[in-house]
Amino acid sequence: MKKLFKVAVIGGGMAGLCAAIACGRRFGGDSVIVLEKQSRVGRKLLATGNGRCNISNTYMSEIHYYGDRAIINSVIGGFSVQNIKRFLGGLGIMLREDSDGRIYPYSNQASTVLDCIRSELMRLGVTEHCDSVLQQIFHQNGKFTVTMNDNTISAENIIFACGSKASPSLGADDSGMIFLKKFGFHPVPFFPSLSPVETAEKYKNLKGVRAKGSVDVLADGKIIRKQSGEIQFTEKGISGICVFECARVVNEFLLYRTVYGKLVRKIQLSLDLMQDYHESDIVKYLRKCKGSFSEQPSAMILSGALHKRLSETVVHNSGIGNKKCSELTENELERIADSTKHFLFTPTSYDAFVGAQVCAGGIGSRDIDPDTLAARKISGLYVCGEMLDVDGDCGGYNLHFAVGSALKAAKNIS
Ligand SMILES: Cc1cc2nc3c(=O)[nH]c(=O)nc-3n(C[C@H](O)[C@H](O)[C@H](O)COP(=O)(O)OP(=O)(O)OC[C@H]3O[C@@H](n4cnc5c(N)ncnc54)[C@H](O)[C@@H]3O)c2cc1C
């Protein structure tokens, strides 16, 4: 292997690989090396979008991102959907869009994206060095010396693209961040931003049940976020895309006792299991069921509307004991309707990295110039992708940011 490179990219995920392509095109592929600690590049990329890779979104805008606003505005403001389409098109990747504006490879396979990226890297002659465990990085006389388990190289520039701690089963950790801390960086600690939520209430009987509904995040009793979609009940709490989209505020509260930076005393998640119906309509429906299921146990009264186990749990939560449907009072019917519309959960843990897709936290504009993504204090060091203190909503926003930030870092290498 060559020993001196113009650019060494640390991390072979979406951001690192796209940065390597852009650097290879600028400086020649043989002057670029990708160092990946796992036995292959792009493992997380292959898992995205359930293997379909939701790579961007027609409704791209800064409002879908959280974290360091200066970096968000600089990267997303300068990298539109047209820009990513042009870049991916240049790799031979055809795209398709669903009715919600989510953009996927036309093949509906994440592997297409990785194959096309790797073909371009190969065409350019970029070196891909896997199983490369970093041991030391020194910066001296304008050069970085990178010592790995099996080799030592030098590079004039380094791009850190090591991702976050989300989904350790795909090899994610904060080993890259440890090197940046040694360089004097001040990362905001990672916490899951798109993840399942663990709750104090553990409904073992509901494990595996799925329901369509909505989730309200209540901060000191006030609704601060509302999402709807499929809710999944798990052994430890709740999951599903709409729950994932509430996880950021929940985890911010659990970690810092704040929500959007403001102090909050209590946070709860309230599920509406019959969002298409007003509470009074549900009471009317229950009155009808009281007659038609008269000899059945009260736990059955919602079984024509909800999953059987969910119906039993909601009735149980209303504080109604062993009764027949015919014995339910008007007040009890109202309590059941209320429990259907306000199924409450108390989040308990922010440490759900295992099921997380994305993390908040990372390197911010205190250490990085948002216009160039170059380190403020160490010349030739750049950071991109999920290592930066930026996280996006579900819907292709995170991969879009990974590509946009990678191309920005690569473009600014002098
Ligand atoms: C299950 C799942 C589904 C997702 N689906 C979508 C989706 O459909 N759309 C979307 O926009 N986003 C999705 N995401 C989020 C998206 O995958 C990430 O935001 C994106 O991959 C981040 O890219 P990255 O290159 O910054 O980091 P990563 O993809 O995590 O890549 C980082 C790479 O660096 C390597 N690395 C780490 N440390 C070191 C080190 N010390 N030395 C050498 N190498 C190192 C890692 O092994 C890894 O290969 C999903 C995530 C998950 C987990």
Mean pLDDT across the stretch 47-72?
Answer: 97
Dihedral, CA of residue 232, residue 235, residue 236 and residue 241, to nearest 10 = -20
Judge contact between 27 and 5, C-beta under 8 A: no
Ligand 1 pocket member 396 (CB < 6 A): yes
pLDDT of residue 313: 96
Cα 279 to Cα 189: distance, rounded to the nearest angstrom: 42
Checking if the pLDDT of 351 tops 80, the result is no
Checking if the pLDDT of 260 tops 90, the result is no
Mean pLDDT across the stretch 300-325?
Answer: 94
How many whole angstroms from 14 Cα to the centroid of ligand 1?
7
Cα 341 to Cα 324: distance, rounded to the nearest angstrom: 22
Is domain 4-192+359-411 given the CATH code 3.20.20.70 in the classification? no
pLDDT of residue 195: 95
Checking if the pLDDT of 338 tops 80, the result is yes
- 5-20 pLDDT per residue, tens: 999 999 999 999 999 9
Ligand 1 pocket member 8 (CB < 6 A): no
Ligand 1 pocket member 264 (CB < 6 A): no
Mean pLDDT across the stretch 131-154?
Answer: 94
Mean pLDDT across the stretch 319-329?
Answer: 92
Element (H, E) at 166: none
Checking if the pLDDT of 206 tops 80, the result is yes
Q: What is the pTM of this model?
A: 0.94
pLDDT of residue 342: 97
How many whole angstroms from 374 Cα to the centroid of ligand 1?
20
Checking if the pLDDT of 150 tops 90, the result is no
Residue-averaged pLDDT of the chain: 96
pLDDT of residue 349: 81
Ligand 1 pocket member 385 (CB < 6 A): yes
> In which band, very low, low, confident or very high, does the pLDDT at 348 lie, cut at 50, 70 and 90?
very high
Helix 330-341 vs helix 279-292: crossing angle, to nearest 10: 130
Alpha helices (H) in 78-174, listed in sequence order? 81-89, 110-124
Atom number of ligand 1 nearest to Cα 171: 47
Checking if the pLDDT of 137 tops 90, the result is yes
Phi, psi of 142 (to 5 degrees): 75, 15
- 230-249 pLDDT per residue, tens: 999 999 999 999 999 999 99
Is domain 193-274+345-349 given the CATH code 2.40.30 in the classification? yes
Which residue CA neighbors atom 5 of ligand 1 most closely? 48
Checking if the pLDDT of 2 tops 90, the result is no
Residue among 48, 53, 134 whose CB has most ligand 1 atoms within 8 A, to mutate: 48
Ligand 1 pocket member 362 (CB < 6 A): no
> In which band, very low, low, confident or very high, does the pLDDT at 33 lie, cut at 50, 70 and 90?
very high
Judge contact between 386 and 184, C-beta under 8 A: no
pLDDT of residue 279: 97
Checking if the pLDDT of 350 tops 80, the result is no
DSSP 364-379: -TTTEETTTTEESSST
At which residue do the structure tokens 């209590």 appear?
Answer: 266
Q: How many CB atoms lie within 10 A of CB 327?
A: 12
DSSP 2-28: -SEEEEEEE--SHHHHHHHHHHHHHH-
Q: Where are the domains of the chain?
A: 4-192+359-411, 193-274+345-349, 288-343
pLDDT of residue 261: 87
Checking if the pLDDT of 270 tops 80, the result is yes
Percent of the chain with pLDDT over 90: 96
* List of E strands, 249-357: 258-259, 262-263, 267-272, 343-345, 347-349
At which residue do the structure tokens 């953009």 appear?
Answer: 103
* 187: DSSP letter: P
